[in-house]
Amino acid sequence: MTKRKIRGSVALVTGANRGLGRALTEELLSRGVKKLYATARDPQTLRDLRDERIVVLRLDVTDADQVRTAIEAASDVEIVFSNAGAALGTSIIGPSAHEHAQHEMDVNYFGPLRLLQRLAPTLARNGGGALVNVGSVAGLSNVPFLPTYAASKAALHSLTQAARMLLSAQGTSVFGVYPGPIDTDMSRALAIPKTAARDVAITILDGVEAGQEDIFPDLYAAEFGRSFEASPKALEQQIAAMMLATAA
Cα Rg for the chain, rounded, in angstroms? 17
Residue type, 47: R
Say how many domains are in the chain.
1
Average pLDDT, the chain: 92
Q: Is residue 2 part of a domain?
A: no
pLDDT for position 189: 61
What CATH number has the domain bearing residue 206? 3.40.50.720
Q: Is residue 208 part of a domain?
A: yes
pLDDT for position 188: 62
pLDDT in tens, 99-117: 999 999 999 999 999 999 9
Its domain, for residue 76, covers 10-247
Q: Give the separation between CA 75 and CA 90, rounded to whole angstroms.
A: 38
Q: Is residue 60 part of a domain?
A: yes
Q: Is residue 100 part of a domain?
A: yes
- 182-194 burial, b if ≥16 CB within 10 A, otherwise e? bbbebbeeeeeeb
Q: Is residue 231 part of a domain?
A: yes
Distance from the first to the final alpha carbon of the chain: 45
Asked whether the predicted pLDDT for residue 90 surpasses 80, the reply is no
pLDDT for position 242: 76
Ramachandran angles phi, psi of 96, nearest 5°: -105, 10
Strand partners, 86: none
Asked whether the predicted pLDDT for residue 1 surpasses 80, the reply is no
Q: Is residue 4 part of a domain?
A: no
User: What band does 216 get if pLDDT is binned at 50, 70 and 90?
Assistant: very high
Q: Specify whether the CB–CB gap between 83 and 205 falls below 8 A.
A: no
Asked whether the predicted pLDDT for residue 60 surpasses 90, the reply is yes
Task: Give the H/E segment covering residue 208.
Answer: helix 197-210
pLDDT for position 89: 73
Helices 219-230 & 232-247 angle (0-180, nearest 10): 130
Residue type, 242: M
Q: Is residue 99 part of a domain?
A: yes
Residue 176 in 3-state DSSP? Answer: strand
Q: How far is CA 119 from the centre of its chain?
A: 16
| Surface-to-core class of residue 65, CB atoms within 10 Å of its CB (0-12 exposed, 13-18 middle, 19+ buried) | exposed
Asked whether the predicted pLDDT for residue 191 surpasses 90, the reply is no
pLDDT for position 238: 86
User: What band does 2 get if pLDDT is binned at 50, 70 and 90?
Assistant: confident
User: What band does 183 get if pLDDT is binned at 50, 70 and 90?
Assistant: confident
pLDDT for position 142: 86
Weakest-pLDDT range from 172-176, 222-226, 236-240:
236-240
Q: Is residue 1 part of a domain?
A: no
Q: Specify whether the CB–CB gap between 126 and 76 falls below 8 A.
A: yes
pLDDT for position 21: 96
Q: Specify whether the CB–CB gap between 5 and 127 falls below 8 A.
A: no
